[in-house]
């Protein structure tokens, strides 16, 4: 059983959703575009696995729209990505509404450490956190903070298991790591330096949690790259591998910001 939980909503500039231009110009277009996307969900996924409850991403907190003054360009980023969330929509409240406690979660996998994915880390003191090593290294410290990672919000107990993808090839992914029976992690960097995606094969079905490697199924199928990916060539390669996997395994595609996720899950 998979529960899709949106922790509030985000809207981003149109040039953030679908990048325009190259290099610095692409970033400027992303941050200064005056046109915005619709309000999009911020999905977290709760998986009932025989080995325990697994949460993919933790969403944002209800203070996500408070002004952030460091680094200096953070206000530009906050203008270009706007959040809407109430306290009741935070991940702990919604897990409670499903009849579980945050303290019951065994694993918290973060696809990457952007603020709309790592906001709720502090609700899971008993979980083992799973992050790719490359992502953790990129996000920590002053360099991480300058890169827009809000690592000052991480709880003291955030000491993640760092994933190096040492289990060899999986399908068309040259590297992978199996976390639990039927639950695999694959590197899909590009959006961020250590982004990962999650594949679940359960009861004859295949589920593909792309994270932000593609915001929607349509973006994945069309090869649409966002305006903030640091490495466009890698981002394109990650999408190609995800697309090939999904099409050859008839996977249910579950991106982090796709409004059609509930309908897709219901049909499965
Ligand atoms: Zn992201």
Residue 3 bridge partners (DSSP): 46
pTM over 0.85: yes
User: Residue 201: pLDDT band by 50, 70, 90 thresholds?
Assistant: very high
Give the model's pLDDT for residue 268: 83
Measured distance CA(156)–CA(25) in Å, rounded: 38
Chain position carrying tokens 């289990």? 167
Concatenated DSSP letters of 61-112: -TTTTS---SSTTHHHHHHHEEEE--GGGSHHHHHHHTT--GGGEEEEE-S-
How far, in Å, from the CA of 116 to the mean position of ligand 1? Answer: 7
How far, in Å, from the CA of 195 to the mean position of ligand 1? Answer: 9
User: Residue 208: pLDDT band by 50, 70, 90 thresholds?
Assistant: very high
pLDDT of 43 higher than 90: yes
pLDDT of 179 higher than 90: yes
β-sheet with 196-202: strand ranges across: 177-180, 183-187, 196-202, 205-211, 252-255
Q: Please, are residues 202 and 209 in contact by the beta-carbon 8 Å criterion?
A: no
Residue 14 burial (10 A CB sphere; 0-12, 13-18, 19+) = middle
How far, in Å, from the CA of 103 to the mean position of ligand 1? Answer: 26
User: Residue 110: pLDDT band by 50, 70, 90 thresholds?
Assistant: very high
Quickly count: other Cβ atoms within 10 Å of residue 163's Cβ. 23
pLDDT of 133 higher than 90: yes
For CA atoms 196, 95, 261, 89, the dihedral sign is: negative
Mean pLDDT of the chain: 97
Q: Please, are residues 212 and 228 in contact by the beta-carbon 8 Å criterion?
A: no
How far, in Å, from the CA of 248 to the mean position of ligand 1? Answer: 26
Q: Please, are residues 92 and 23 in contact by the beta-carbon 8 Å criterion?
A: no
For range 227-253, the mean pLDDT = 97
User: Residue 23: pLDDT band by 50, 70, 90 thresholds?
Assistant: very high
Q: Please, are residues 59 and 8 in contact by the beta-carbon 8 Å criterion?
A: yes
Chain position carrying tokens 């298991």? 161
Measured distance CA(183)–CA(163) in Å, rounded: 14
Bridging pattern class, strands 161-163 and 177-180: unpaired
For range 77-92, the mean pLDDT = 98
Give the per-residue SS3 of 196-229. EEEEEEECCEEEEEEECCCCCHHHHHHCCCCCCC
pLDDT of 138 higher than 90: yes
How far, in Å, from the CA of 55 to the mean position of ligand 1? Answer: 17
How far, in Å, from the CA of 74 to the mean position of ligand 1? Answer: 15
How far, in Å, from the CA of 250 to the mean position of ligand 1? Answer: 25
Give the model's pLDDT for residue 137: 98
How far, in Å, from the CA of 114 to the mean position of ligand 1? Answer: 5
How far, in Å, from the CA of 144 to the mean position of ligand 1? Answer: 14
Residues 6+ away with beta carbon under 8 Å from 25:
none
Give the model's pLDDT for residue 186: 98
How far, in Å, from the CA of 126 to the mean position of ligand 1? Answer: 25
Q: Is 244 helix (H, G, I), strand (E, B) or coil?
A: helix
Q: Which two tokens stand for residue 99?
A: 């009849």
Measured distance CA(125)–CA(158) in Å, rounded: 8
For range 237-252, the mean pLDDT = 97
Q: Which two tokens stand for residue 18?
A: 């679908």
Q: Which two tokens stand for residue 109?
A: 């996998």
């Amino acid at each position: 059983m998979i529960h899709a939980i949106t922790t509030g909503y985000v809207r981003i500039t149109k040039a953030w959703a679908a990048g325009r231009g190259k290099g610095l110009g692409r970033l400027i277009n992303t941050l200064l575009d005056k046109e915005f996307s619709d309000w999009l969900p911020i999905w977290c996924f709760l998986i009932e696995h025989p080995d325990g409850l697994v949460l993919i991403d933790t969403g944002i907190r209800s203070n996500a729209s408070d002004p952030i003054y460091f680094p200096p360009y953070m206000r530009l980023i906050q203008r270009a990505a706007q959040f809407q969330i109430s306290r009741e929509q935070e991940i702990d409240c919604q897990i409670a509404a499903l009849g579980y406690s945050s303290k019951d979660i065994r694993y918290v996998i973060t696809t990457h450490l952007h603020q709309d994915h790592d906001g709720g880390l502090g609700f899971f003191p008993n979980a083992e956190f799973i992050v790719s090593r490359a992502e953790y290294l990129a996000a920590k410290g002053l360099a991480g903070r300058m890169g827009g990672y809000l690592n000052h919000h991480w709880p003291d107990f955030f000491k993640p298991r760092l994933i190096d993808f040492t289990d060899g090839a999986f399908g068309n992914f040259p590297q992978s790591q199996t976390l639990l029976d039927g639950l695999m992690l694959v590197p899909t960097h590009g959006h961020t330096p250590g982004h990962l995606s999650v594949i679940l094969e359960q009861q004859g079905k295949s589920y593909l949690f792309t994270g932000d490697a593609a915001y929607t199924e349509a973006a994945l199928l069309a090869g649409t790259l966002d305006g903030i990916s640091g490495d466009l060539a890698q981002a394109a390669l990650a999408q190609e591998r995800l697309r090939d996997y999904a099409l050859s395994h008839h996977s249910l595609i579950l991106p982090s910001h796709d409004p059609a996720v509930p309908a897709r899950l219901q049909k499965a």
